[in-house]
Amino acid sequence: MDKHQVVPDVIDKAPAEVAEVTFKSGAKAELGNELTPTQVKDIPVVVWKAEPSSLYTLCMTDPDAPSRKDPRNREWHHWLVVNIPGNEIAKGDTLTEYVGAGPPKDSGLHRYVILLYKQPNKIRASEPHISKTTGKNRGKFSIRKFAKKYKLTDIVAGNFFQAQWDEYVPKLYKQLSG
């Protein structure tokens, strides 16, 4: 994560554990490998060493919006789930529904960072629910600020991949326009 500047652009310190992130297409995130928006359009399976009796927060965020050279919308978050019991993401509270990578044409590679935090207690989030059919309220997010607000000090696992525009992106933009 240091090599690709996820540290310090998104987090201060890389997590000790690498989360397994596997997409329906069979593609896997492998600490900065390049995947296509087509490969990552569906919600991935994310696995980490979770304690069954603990709660976790998962976030997928893009610090390179609209581009790495001009990240004025840093971070654009793609997925946010809190109160995940153990590693059962589907049983958590989804604040932001998953949307895959959608970098603008000619904006180069974007980093898509997946982080898992162990929660000290159940979160009663004040953030609005964001559906997969809108881009509203996704930009200018900060996982650092969110983590601080909810006292999420322990990043237990993470991973990331990079992607750039492909022919799937216009379909994603249509979905996000409602």
Residue 17 is part of a domain; what is its CATH number?
A: 3.90.280.10
User: How many domains does the chain fold into?
Assistant: 1
What does the alpha-carbon distance between residue 158 and residue 116 come to, in Å, rounded to a whole number? 6
Residue 111 lies in a domain: yes
The DSSP result for 70-124, as a single string, is --TT--EEEEEEEEEETT-GGGSEEEE------PPTT---EEEEEEEEE-SS---
Residue 1 lies in a domain: no
> Which one, of 157, 114, 162, lies nearest residue 14 by Cα?
157
**Predicted local distance difference test score (pLDDT) of residue 119:** 97
Residue 16 lies in a domain: yes
Provide the domain limits for residue 156: 6-176
What does the alpha-carbon distance between residue 62 and residue 118 come to, in Å, rounded to a whole number? 21
**What are the 10-residue block averages of pLDDT along the chain, 178 residues in total?**
87 95 98 98 97 97 95 95 97 98 96 98 96 95 97 95 97 91
Ramachandran angles phi, psi of 146, nearest 5°: -60, -45
Q: 142: how many CB neighbours lie within 10 A of its CB?
A: 15
**Predicted local distance difference test score (pLDDT) of residue 2:** 67
**Predicted local distance difference test score (pLDDT) of residue 1:** 76
Please give the helix or strand (H or E) that residue 7 lies within, else none. Answer: helix 6-9
pTM score of the predicted model: 0.96
> Which one, of 89, 77, 78, 6, lies nearest residue 47 by Cα?
89
On whether the CB atoms of residues 19 and 48 are closer than 8 A, the answer is yes
